[in-house]
């Protein structure tokens, strides 16, 4: 990840003229689907048995073969989060990649606000309403005045142990981290360009390794180490040690913007070598965390590196394919793009939809008091499948009526500001003509 080479000026390559990368939407859809299946798998088995936290031996000895298999298929779905971070870094930086244009902070803030906030606050309010119906106000750490104010500003670190402090839905903590990434990007963009995104990503990865090493070393010596620190400093949530992972995506955007005239990204490794390296990083990260008795978040860093390499392969293959001319789109590509468009809605709503549906089914079947004993049974599988189906239905609804309209509103608002800026610039340059 050395500092980027100068842009090839033999053939001007503008992002406006570049074909849309279908693989990015498909990877985004895959990430959302994987996270959804991860939570569905956990809801189905209803057990604290896990491969991580030093419990792997017990897991392999006590759990049925079906659970062991699902643990390596669906149980690793939390990897959708680092994949999301890679895609986010790529998409956010892509409009400014390969050039020196400054960031239009107002337009950037408007787009990011309407991209995240309307759906986020809707799901947050819905989750709080469900907690209120079930527990009543003040009887749940998520239903307090401080919690409400914190959620309004993406701050979910108010709860004390044993509450995990992830927010009213366990996916919301990633939104807090995402907003912090945006702030750092806006503040540090000139410095990132001066140093080079590749180097900055490498520095961030080294910092992440050092921080995690210190954290887990102290955790192994002191069982209460984690409890002594606010959750914002946890390795999985501390923005300064995860920013390098997000910058990997921004670095990919730079590589894409500086591709060859034929649209191919120049890189010293071949696609098979990149794919093998990416898979190795992910597999090694999982194995290392399992055998060292670490939590699943210890795999985030290597997973991000692995997904960055895999995403680079996908981008290179997509760009090369589209450089040859129009190609037919397969059904699975259409499905991936469809899921990619709705990935944010699915990501935010799926957990609440699955848990609420399963809870309703359990009460209607009069088994609410013994839900844990129902885990792994065919009846419970039907309940979880119904909840997953409701998640997809809810995602389609929120995408059509909340997410897509808010995106369109943001585009119109930014366009209005841009037109106004052009008129003002014209007026300053030629007051007489502008007056006429």
HEC string for 117-181: HHHHHHHHHHHHHHHHHHHCCCCCCCCCHHHHHHHHCCCCCCCCCCCCCCCCCCCHHHHHHHHHH
Q: What is the number of other CB atoms lying within 10 angstroms of the CB of residue 230?
A: 12
pLDDT bracket for residue 9 (50, 70, 90): very low
pLDDT bracket for residue 4 (50, 70, 90): very low
Half-sphere exposure of 277 (CA within 13 A, CB side): 14
- pLDDT on residue 10: 33
What integer is the mean pLDDT of 123-151? 86
- pLDDT on residue 159: 65
Q: Who's near 374: CB < 8 A, 6+ residues apart?
A: 46, 362, 367, 380
- Check whether 6 has a pLDDT greater than 50: no
What integer is the mean pLDDT of 75-104? 95
Comparing CA positions, the residue from 234, 282, 295, 301 lying closest to residue 55 is: 295
Let me know: does 87 contact 28? Beta carbons within 8 Å. Answer: yes
For Cα atoms 206, 207, 213, give the angle at the middle one, nearest 5 degrees: 90
Let me know: does 170 contact 351? Beta carbons within 8 Å. Answer: yes
Let me know: does 247 contact 204? Beta carbons within 8 Å. Answer: yes
Comparing CA positions, the residue from 407, 312, 347 lying closest to residue 21 is: 312
Let me know: does 212 contact 298? Beta carbons within 8 Å. Answer: yes
| Alpha-carbon gap, residue 134 to 432, rounded angstroms | 67
Q: Who's near 213: CB < 8 A, 6+ residues apart?
A: none
- pLDDT on residue 11: 35
pTM, two decimals, is 0.91
- pLDDT on residue 421: 76
pLDDT bracket for residue 144 (50, 70, 90): confident
pLDDT bracket for residue 174 (50, 70, 90): very high
User: pLDDT per residue over 230-271, tens digit each?
Assistant: 888 999 999 999 999 999 999 999 999 988 766 678 888 899
User: pLDDT per residue over 66-80, tens digit each?
Assistant: 999 999 999 999 999
pLDDT bracket for residue 369 (50, 70, 90): confident
Half-sphere exposure of 342 (CA within 13 A, CB side): 21
pLDDT averaged over every residue in the chain: 88
Comparing CA positions, the residue from 343, 356, 430, 348 lying closest to residue 387 is: 356
Let me know: does 269 contact 204? Beta carbons within 8 Å. Answer: no
Q: Over the chain, what HEC string results? A: CCCCCCCCCCCCCCCCCCCCCHHHHHHHHHHHHHHHHHHHHHHHHCCCCCCCCCCHHHHHHHCCHHHHHHHHHCCCHHHHHHHHHHHHHHHHHHHHCCCCCCCCHHHHHHHHHHHHHHHHHHHHHHHHHHHHHHHCCCCCCCCCHHHHHHHHCCCCCCCCCCCCCCCCCCCHHHHHHHHHHHHHHHHHHHHHHHHCHHHHHHHHHHHHHHHHHHHHHHHHHCCCCHHHCCHHHCCCCCHHHHHHHHHHHHHHHHHHHCCCCCCCCCCCCCHHHHHHHHHHHHHHHHHHHHHCCCCHHHHHHHHHHHHHHHHHHHHHHHHHHHHCCCCCCCHHHHHHHHHHHCHHHHHHHHHHHHHHHHHHHHHHCCCHHHHHHHCCCHHHHHHHHHHHHHHHHHHHHHHHHHHHHHHHHHHHHHHHHHHHHHHHHHHHHCHHHHHC
Bond into 85 cis (ω within 30): no
pLDDT bracket for residue 426 (50, 70, 90): confident
pLDDT bracket for residue 119 (50, 70, 90): very high
Residue with structure tokens 């955007």? 253
Q: What is the number of other CB atoms lying within 10 angstroms of the CB of residue 316?
A: 22
């Amino acid at each position: 990840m050395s500092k980027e080479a100068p842009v090839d000026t033999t053939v001007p390559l503008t992002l406006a003229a570049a074909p849309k990368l279908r693989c990015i939407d498909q990877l985004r859809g895959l990430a959302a689907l994987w996270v959804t299946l991860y939570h569905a798998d956990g809801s189905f088995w209803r057990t604290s048995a896990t491969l991580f936290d030093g419990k792997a031996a017990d897991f392999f000895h006590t759990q049925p073969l079906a659970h062991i298999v699902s643990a390596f298929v669906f149980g690793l779905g939390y990897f959708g989060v680092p994949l999301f971070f890679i895609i986010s870094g790529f998409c956010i930086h892509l409009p400014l990649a390969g050039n020196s244009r400054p960031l239009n902070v107002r337009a950037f803030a408007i787009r990011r606000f309407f991209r995240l906030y309307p759906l986020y606050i809707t799901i947050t309010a819905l989750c709080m309403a469900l907690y209120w119906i079930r527990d009543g106000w003040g009887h749940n750490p998520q239903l307090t005045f401080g919690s409400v104010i914190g959620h309004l500003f993406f701050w979910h670190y108010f709860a004390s142990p044993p509450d995990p402090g992830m927010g009213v839905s366990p996916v919301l903590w990633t939104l807090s981290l995402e907003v912090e990434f945006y702030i750092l990007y806006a503040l540090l963009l000139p410095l990132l360009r001066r140093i080079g995104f590749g180097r900055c990503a490498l520095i961030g990865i080294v910092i992440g390794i050092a921080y995690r090493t210190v954290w887990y070393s102290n955790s192994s010596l002191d069982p209460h180490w984690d409890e002594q620190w606010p959750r914002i400093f946890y390795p999985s949530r501390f923005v300064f040690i995860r920013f390098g992972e997000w910058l990997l995506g921004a670095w990919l955007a730079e590589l894409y913007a500086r591709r060859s005239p034929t649209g191919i990204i120049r890189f010293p490794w071949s696609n098979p070598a990149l794919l093998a390296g990416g898979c190795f990083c992910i597999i090694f990260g999982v194995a290392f965390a399992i055998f060292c008795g670490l939590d699943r978040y210890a795999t985030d860093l290597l997973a991000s590196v692995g997904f960055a390499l895999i995403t680079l392969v996908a981008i290179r293959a997509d760009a090369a394919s589209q450089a040859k001319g129009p190609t037919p789109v397969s059904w699975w590509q259409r499905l991936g793009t469809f899921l990619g468009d709705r990935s944010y809605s699915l990501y935010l709503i799926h957990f609440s939809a699955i848990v609420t549906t399963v809870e309703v089914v359990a009460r209607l079947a009069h088994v609410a008091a013994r839900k844990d004993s129902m885990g792994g049974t065919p009846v419970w599988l039907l309940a979880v499948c119904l909840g997953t189906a409701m998640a997809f239905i809810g995602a389609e609804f929120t995408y059509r009526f909340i997410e897509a309209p808010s995106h369109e509103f943001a585009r119109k608002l930014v366009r209005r500001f841009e037109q106004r800026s052009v008129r003002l610039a014209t007026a300053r340059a030629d007051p007489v003509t502008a007056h006429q």
